[in-house]
Amino acid sequence: MSFSFQAARKHKAQNFVFSPLSISIALGMVHGGAQSDTAEEMKAVMKLTKDPHSFFKDLMTTLKNADEAVIMKMANMLYVKQDFKILDTYKNLLKESYKSGIQEISMNEAGRGIINSFVEETTNSRIKDLIPSGVLNDMTRLVLVNAVYFKGKWAEQFNANNTRDHDFHVTKSETVKVPMMYISKSFPFGRDKALKCTYIKLPYIGDELEMLFVLPDEIDGLKDLEEKLTGDTVAKWSREARKGMKVDLHLPRFKIEGDIPLKQILQEMGMVKMFSDNADFSGMDGKRDLYVSDAFHKAFIEVNEEGTEAAAATGTVLFSARASGLDIEHSKSNG
pLDDT tens-digit map of 268-298:
999 999 999 999 999 999 999 999 999 999 9
Residue 63 has pLDDT above 90, yes or no: no
Residue 303 has pLDDT above 80, yes or no: yes
My answer on whether 248 and 277 are in the same domain is: no
Q: Which residue has the higher pLDDT, 191 or 59?
A: 191
Residue 1 has pLDDT above 70, yes or no: no
Mean pLDDT within 92-102: 97
- Label residue 170 by pLDDT band (50, 70, 90): confident
User: In CATH, what number is assigned to the domain containing residue 212?
Assistant: 2.30.39.10
My answer on whether 123 and 265 are in the same domain is: yes
Three-class SS state of 186: coil
Residue 30's nearest CA partner among 72, 81, 63, 76 is 76
Lowest mean pLDDT among 150-159, 168-177, 211-220: 168-177
Q: Which residues contact 188 (CB under 8 A, 6 or more apart)?
A: 200, 201, 203, 241, 242, 243
Is residue 326 assigned to a domain?
no
- Decide if 7 contacts 267 (C-beta within 8 A): no
- Decide if 102 contacts 82 (C-beta within 8 A): no
What pTM does this model have?
A: 0.90
Indicate the average pLDDT of the chain: 90
Residue 325 has pLDDT above 70, yes or no: no
Q: Which domain holds residue 41?
A: 2-152+255-320
- Decide if 104 contacts 82 (C-beta within 8 A): yes
pLDDT of residue 13: 57
Is residue 331 assigned to a domain?
no
My answer on whether 225 and 271 are in the same domain is: no
pLDDT of residue 185: 96
pLDDT of residue 64: 74
Is residue 65 assigned to a domain?
yes
Is residue 40 assigned to a domain?
yes
Residue 7's nearest CA partner among 298, 270, 323 is 270
pLDDT of residue 14: 66
Of 252, 277, 294, the position where a domain reaches its end is: 252
pLDDT of residue 321: 76
Three-class SS state of 22: helix
Residue 75 has pLDDT above 70, yes or no: yes
pLDDT of residue 10: 67
Helices of type H across the chain: 2-10, 20-31, 36-46, 52-64, 88-98, 109-122, 222-228, 231-240, 262-269, 282-285
Is residue 241 assigned to a domain?
yes
- Decide if 46 contacts 24 (C-beta within 8 A): yes
pLDDT of residue 178: 96
- Label residue 331 by pLDDT band (50, 70, 90): very low
